[in-house]
A = this chain, B = another copy of it.
Amino acid sequence: MSSPAPRAAGHDHQGPDHRAGRPGHRTGPDALWSVEDHLADILAAVRPLEPIELNLLDAQGCLLVEDVTVPVSLPPFDNSSMDGYAVRVTDVAGASEEFPAVLEVVGDIAAGLAESPHVGPGQAARIMTGAPLPSGAEAVVPVEWTDGGLGGGPVTGMRARSKAPEGAGGQVRVHRPAEARAHVRAQGSDVRAGDRALAAGTVLGPPQIGLLAAIGRGRVRVRPRPRVVVLSTGSELVQPDEPLAHGQIYDSNSFALTAAAHDAGAIAYRVGAVTDDAETLRATIEDQLVRADLLVTTGGVSVGAYDVVKEALAHVADEDEPGSGVEFRKLAMQPGKPQGFGSVGPDHTPLLALPGNPVSSYVSFELFVRPAIRTLMGLPDVHRPRVRATLTAGKALTSPKGRRQFLRATHTDGSVTPVGGAGSHLVAALAHADALIVVPEDVESVEPGTEVEVVLLG
């Protein structure tokens, strides 16, 4: 099957002409795309999802799309930072343990009580942390600076109101003076009404969610998590825990990539293995469109006579709709040479068709699908971190000329060591890797001790 003319999902105007002008890009069925060009093509076509309003906890990990302004200052009122007594400064001036200030306790001020007693000269109100400073009072003395109303020495705390209600009355001896505003948190000292609490573009983690709750925001506008549907294809695929017949293998791609999509921040749906029949695959994809912001398939993208992803997606594309269609390409990379990208269905849902080999599909996911998911989320940083590290290996790495090779490796303290061989079927090695070594297209051999580029897989 010949490749259709290159078209990007939803970006007809950035079509063949745009891409043909890129360095290194050639057209036609033998064209080899660079990793950069393929990625750029995907990221130019995928747009952040439209924002929706979500409950705070549902918005965790999402990108805020509005500047959030503080509606009411925090704290909303002057309040005590200690459990103690609200007093007038002159009443406790010069107080000491030997010569305490003796004050009449006019009541309790617990946090959340609607009304507070007034504190007049010679009076004090017992006050709890966070409770509003009562009228008349100018400062708080911690309970540890008093006799707690018990008539003895300094105490370490108050008795529970439910067990000792008399603590809200009687007298208290204060052993130390207090300056005006001592142990008082001023209204607005945290944030002021009208301040910007969080800027659009903030990713909502636990402290940001805490701040939004603190200023009374129960719902926020964010870009939602994309819904990613993962399908593997192949008549040879059997679900785990089922018996294998000759020529069959277990479906692992749909599991690995669903987990990887979840890890990238998506709501991931695993459809599982679809048999190598174009009509079945087409019907499955059409069924799934309703819950997909992005479709990911594995297998069926190469040059074989049973590569049904290629075969099926030509039919799903609506010829009358510019921007629809999936293009199948060869990339100058290893593993992961055959790749498909485009869009399907009436909403031009983006689709990435990855090769079927488990390691190829996983590496392709990391390089192309993860950035696409994070672009859908509107996140500022869509790529895995990359570092330079020194190659530790028993012998030189070899790499085919003209292909960018991604080798599974482990990374520690500036050093990187290959795991397993270059064979793209070594799924066992992948499970022990935490990094990919990048060998550029023009490099055919890398000696141990050389500094190499490394993608950290987190």
Contact = CB atoms under 8 A, between A and B. Distances in A.
Max chain B C-beta neighbours (<10 A), residue from A75, A214, A236 = A214
Interface in A223-250: 234-242, 244-250
Contacts of A308: 160
Given A157-B303, A217-B240, A427 B210 contact: yes
A182 B246 CA distance: 22
Interface stretch (A15-23, A184-192, A285-293, A448-456): A184-192
Contact of A256 (B185, B207, B275): B207
A167 interface: yes
Contacts of A159: 1, 305
Interface stretch (A124-132, A169-177, A339-347, A393-401): A124-132
A235 B112 contact: yes
A430 interface: yes
Nearest to A311: B160
Nearest to A28: B156
B113 A249 contact: no
Contact of A234 (B111, B206, B213, B242): B111
Interface stretch (A88-96, A259-267, A381-389): A259-267
Contacts of A110: 235, 276, 304-306
Contacts of A431: 197-198, 207-208, 210-211
B425 A185 contact: yes
Given A209-B255, A256-B213, A307 B75 contact: no
A129 B303 CA distance: 9
A302 B235 contact: no
5 contacts: A112-B234, A112-B276, A159-B305, A163-B311, A217-B241
Given A216-B244, A241-B219, A83 B303 contact: yes
B206 A111 contact: no
A257 B207 contact: no
Contacts of A144: 303
Given A57-B259, A111-B234, A218-B240, A131 B247 contact: yes
Contacts of A357: 129-130
A279 to B, nearest CB: 9
B189 A305 contact: no
Contacts of A248: 76, 112
Given A210-B253, A249-B214, A278 B162 contact: yes
A270 interface: yes
A215 interface: yes
A409 to B, nearest CB: 13
A90 to B, nearest CB: 26
B303 A205 contact: no
A367 interface: no
B108 A190 contact: no
